[in-house]
Structure 1
Amino acid sequence: MTAAEATTEGPGVRAMLIASVPALLIGAGSALVLWVIDMLAHGLQHWLWDTLPAQFGASSTTPWWIFVVLTAVGLLVGAVVQFAPGRGGVDSATVELNAPPPPILAVPSIVIAVTLSLAGGVSLGPENPIIAINSALAVTLLAGMSKVLPPQLVILLAISGTIGALFATPVAAALVLTGTVGAMRGPGSLWDKLFLPLAAAGAGAVTMHLLGGESIAFTLEPMGEIQPMYLVLGFVVAAASAGVGILAAWLFPYLHRAFHSLKHPIVFTTLGGAVLGVLGIIGGPLTLFKGLNETGELLTHPDAYSAGQLALFAGVKVVALLVAASAGFRGGRIFPAVFIGTALGLLGYALIPGIPIALAVACGVMGITLAATKDGWMAMFIGVVLVGDVTVLALLCIIVLPVWLLVTKAPELVVHPAPHEKAQVAS
């Protein structure tokens, strides 16, 4: 065997089959954890926004109730972050999806913090905390299998399974992790290295489907035949959306520093909740929560909102996302970004004559997701799946290239703490 052949020879079939069993279990378990937390959050949400306000002669749309609930949720999350063992895990604003897992001791406090945020109307998604929870559980439960599944691989499988469950398809995990897996040292082709993560992601996606989990797939009017002008029109929408994401990423660290200068989480998270309450009053209930159901509402009735309303929704949601992420709430930034991109896409559809609605929405979502994640695969995937029209993929593959040139040197939508701040977090 030549040296080149030796470096490309992957793991044996038997080894992959053996390792696929725990990979499938990790994927299914990751989906189950996500589903349980979703159910807890939905139950609490129903009580907070439907049952409880009726006792005070209010409803979920009453302005003062929106303010009270979000302020109270800020107080409770702040108390968890300041006083509970594990302190709600690492600040979600400072980590990517593939962050190292927290200590197992932190898991209960992360569960409480993310459940409160999801139920209370905070403009953050579940992705970062759920991945942290699943990674910590998987590493702890499979500690005795380190010879078969090293801890780093277990973490990768937990991330894969969670992403598969979040987006209800293993394709999302494959696209997100292609770069990570491709950079891993060791023998084998890319598909050898993707085999176990795809098994975990597939198990997570199937389990979530069986449990009746949410989906990001909607259906809009098909685009029809491709026309050359669509490239220009789509780029305008995608570039504008990416510009909004770039501006948000530039403001993010300043806002984060301002909130954290108050030192105590119970103070700055409560303040953040109050600000979110005011924003909720301005933007209305459609600008609350993680944004998936609200995205569906926009796409179900795309002609029900004026250009001014869509601009208001997008603007309020951008500020709400930045405030929530800066003020110590635990949650991810992808789902709110999808809502913002959808609103911007519909705004483009309302203002630009001749652009198909499916292309406008796909480009709006792709632009801001690209700016937020710096991941072209993820941005295009969400754009296509959201509108339910695979025809737009060919155009997105071209439009993404100039938009990437706009975002590649722009700041990320993540806060990088200074060295002394990292030391404080670690302690």
Structure 2
Amino acid sequence: MSTTGPAAPLAGDAASRATAAPVDAAARLRSAAYARLLVLAAIIGAPVSAAAYFFLQLVGMLQSWVYEDLPRAVGFATAPLWWPLPMLGISGVLVGLTIQHLPGRGGHSPVDGFNPGGVPKPVELPGVLLAALASLGLGVVLGPEAPLIALGGGLAVCAVRLSRRDVPERVGAVVASAGSFAAISALLGSPITGAFLLMEASGLGGPTLGLVLLPGLLAAGIGSLIFVGLDQLTGLGPVALAVPGLPPFAHPDIAQFGWALVIGVLAALVGSGIRWLATALRPHVERHTVLLTSVVGLAVAGLAIAYLAVTGHGFADVLFSGQAELGPLLQDGAGYSVGALLMLLVCKGLAYGLSMSSFRGGPVFPALYIGAAGGIVLSHLPGLPMVAGVAMGIGAMCAVMLRLPLTAVMLATLLLFADGLAVMPLVIVAVVVAHVVSAWLAPRQPPSSPPGDAGPRRPLPR
């Protein structure tokens, strides 16, 4: 089951209608029903974004408690070398039991990326939440974006159905999309980035695209204000993706465009290898979910321990999504030797593939982190400034792992603030090369299955 594309039912409906009769988007935009839908989206944006904010804060608190406070509480000055082993073993047991026994199997598998699918039923939301907290909070190498999309869409539909039982399927799909926009946009740093992500992931198009995006953008804009207000009110700190303080980048040159080709090809090879590992392992894990998910968790812990033992850097570089660790990596990149960075790439990449095969979470942030680390490694070679290498690495790895090239360009550009516009041409070249090469490397789909098809689509819950 896939829960990452809440607008997919509407997309399928729009496609069927497009063959039957043209859609008068302008008339719908002027209708009173659409105005009411916009008001509903604005109302939904606030509580869903607040729920997303506290979910992200809870994940951060769990990580800090498990790897900092708990070791001190049992008598260690810092977490000992073996500490990730029991934590990720416990994570595997909890996630395995959730997948095996709770409705919805804890949400969609991150191996599937952001494929279209249905909104989780209300009874499935506890399983999605538990699997996400057990995965992310205990150190699994996945991000929070996929659970946020599922929870945001599911909570939005639940809120509407509490006030009105007979919600039309099309309205429910747009409301779910708005909830997902609100939940994910502040995390990615911009409502526009969230719009690109969900637009590409859901496969929406044609005259109905704007009709679906407007409620989502409205909910996301209000949600961003909620994130800012809650941050100031609680003092817990921001949870959005941001990397300030990077050195300025003037403009690209011919040598850097050559590096864009190289980085695109390398990202396609690395990302395809990670995806192959996750795809190959998943069927075996699903046969003995609880046992093998725990074994995979122990393997992820072993990679983190090996990295710490060899490089002396903390195992947090390998564990977790990389969201909180990305800024320090970029700002302190000079403190990592080339050997340490290569070890980081190997351990993080393997841990990423293992985590995707078994646990629940999103693929975005580990891809950002691995792409940035790869860019730092290559910046030690002539003709490639660090900022350009990082931007191209981030964009190319995101394009491979998400298969969403527009979103990849947007993420890499917005992440680098003032440098983003200057480096955008290089990012575009690297993303296009990575996207095309990875498509050539991917297994061929049967002719009857359209690209990106996730199988039968489950209708919205009633």
> 2: CA distance between counterparts of 1:325 and 1:119?
15
Matched position secondary structure for 2:137: helix
Kept in 2, the 8 Å contact 1:19–1:149? The answer is no
| CA shift for structure 1 position 274 | 1.0
| CA shift for structure 1 position 7 | 4.3
Q: CA 1:278 to 1:141, structure 2 compared with 1: closer, same or farther past 3 Å?
A: same
2:86 to 43, 68, 77: 68
| CA shift for structure 1 position 349 | 0.8
> 2: CA distance between counterparts of 1:180 and 1:375?
7
Q: CA 1:164 to 1:74, structure 2 compared with 1: closer, same or farther past 3 Å?
A: same
> 2: CA distance between counterparts of 1:79 and 1:399?
41
> 1: CA distance between counterparts of 2:320 and 2:332?
19
TM-score by length of 2: 0.81
| CA shift for structure 1 position 86 | 4.7
> 2: CA distance between counterparts of 1:182 and 1:334?
18
* Structure 1 counterpart of 2:266: 240
* Structure 2 counterpart of 1:33: 51
Matched position secondary structure for 1:409: helix
- Structure-to-structure mapping, 1:71-110, within 5 angstroms: 71-84=89-102, 86-94=104-112, 96=114, 98-110=116-128
Which piece of structure 1 moves more, 297-306 or 233-242? 233-242
> 1: CA distance between counterparts of 2:330 and 2:104?
39
* Structure 2 counterpart of 1:214: 239
1:382 maps onto 2:411 in alignment: yes
The code of the aligned residue for 1:173 comes to: G
- Structure-to-structure mapping, 1:236-385, within 5 angstroms: 236-261=262-287, 263=288, 265-283=289-307, 284-327=315-358, 329-350=359-380, 352-385=381-414
What is the CA deviation profile of residues 217-244 of structure 1, one whole-angstrom value per residue up to 9, with x for unaligned ones? Answer: 2132121133222211232223212321
Kept in 2, the 8 Å contact 1:168–1:208? The answer is no
What is the CA deviation profile of residues 363-415 of structure 1, one whole-angstrom value per residue up to 9, with x for unaligned ones? Answer: 11111110111111111112112222121113323443333321233339xxx
> 2: CA distance between counterparts of 1:406 and 1:10?
42
| CA shift for structure 1 position 57 | 3.3
Q: CA 1:6 to 1:99, structure 2 compared with 1: closer, same or farther past 3 Å?
A: closer
> 1: CA distance between counterparts of 2:175 and 2:187?
18
Q: CA 1:180 to 1:316, structure 2 compared with 1: closer, same or farther past 3 Å?
A: closer
Matched position secondary structure for 1:47: helix
> 1: CA distance between counterparts of 2:107 and 2:431?
34
Matched position secondary structure for 1:331: coil
> 1: CA distance between counterparts of 2:295 and 2:263?
34
RMSD of equivalent CA atoms: 2.9
Q: CA 1:184 to 1:405, structure 2 compared with 1: closer, same or farther past 3 Å?
A: closer
> 1: CA distance between counterparts of 2:112 and 2:336?
35
Matched position secondary structure for 1:379: helix
Kept in 1, the 8 Å contact 2:264–2:434? The answer is yes
1:140 maps onto 2:170 in alignment: no
> 2: CA distance between counterparts of 1:241 and 1:182?
24
- Structure-to-structure mapping, 1:129-208, within 5 angstroms: 129-143=147-161, 144=164, 146=167, 150-179=171-200, 183-184=204-205, 190-208=209-227
Matched position secondary structure for 2:334: coil
Matched position secondary structure for 2:133: helix
State the percentage of identical aligned residues: 27
Which piece of structure 1 moves more, 124-133 or 19-28? 19-28
Q: CA 1:400 to 1:270, structure 2 compared with 1: closer, same or farther past 3 Å?
A: closer
Kept in 2, the 8 Å contact 1:98–1:159? The answer is no
> 2: CA distance between counterparts of 1:237 and 1:95?
22
> 2: CA distance between counterparts of 1:398 and 1:356?
16
1:127 maps onto 2:145 in alignment: yes
Q: CA 1:270 to 1:250, structure 2 compared with 1: closer, same or farther past 3 Å?
A: closer
Kept in 1, the 8 Å contact 2:267–2:371? The answer is yes
> 2: CA distance between counterparts of 1:181 and 1:422?
12
Kept in 2, the 8 Å contact 1:72–1:270? The answer is yes
The code of the aligned residue for 1:252 comes to: A
Q: CA 1:205 to 1:354, structure 2 compared with 1: closer, same or farther past 3 Å?
A: same
> 2: CA distance between counterparts of 1:306 and 1:108?
43
> 1: CA distance between counterparts of 2:259 and 2:112?
35
Matched position secondary structure for 2:362: coil
TM-score by length of 1: 0.87
Matched position secondary structure for 1:391: helix
Q: CA 1:171 to 1:251, structure 2 compared with 1: closer, same or farther past 3 Å?
A: same
Kept in 2, the 8 Å contact 1:27–1:158? The answer is yes
> 1: CA distance between counterparts of 2:203 and 2:73?
56
- Structure-to-structure mapping, 1:394-405, within 5 angstroms: 394-405=425-436
Aligned length: 410
What is the CA deviation profile of residues 199-219 of structure 1, one whole-angstrom value per residue up to 9, with x for unaligned ones? Answer: 122222232232233222213
Which piece of structure 1 moves more, 101-110 or 51-60? 51-60
| CA shift for structure 1 position 166 | 2.1
* Structure 2 counterpart of 1:23: 41
Q: CA 1:180 to 1:75, structure 2 compared with 1: closer, same or farther past 3 Å?
A: closer
Which piece of structure 1 moves more, 170-179 or 365-374? 170-179
> 2: CA distance between counterparts of 1:247 and 1:91?
17
What is the CA deviation profile of residues 99-147 of structure 1, one whole-angstrom value per residue up to 9, with x for unaligned ones? Answer: 3122211212221221122221110111112211222221122132735
Which piece of structure 1 moves more, 95-104 or 132-141? 95-104
> 1: CA distance between counterparts of 2:240 and 2:363?
17
Q: CA 1:278 to 1:422, structure 2 compared with 1: closer, same or farther past 3 Å?
A: farther
For structure 1, the 5+ residue unaligned runs are none
> 1: CA distance between counterparts of 2:284 and 2:201?
33
> 1: CA distance between counterparts of 2:254 and 2:344?
31
For structure 2, the 5+ residue unaligned runs are 1-20, 232-237, 308-314, 444-451
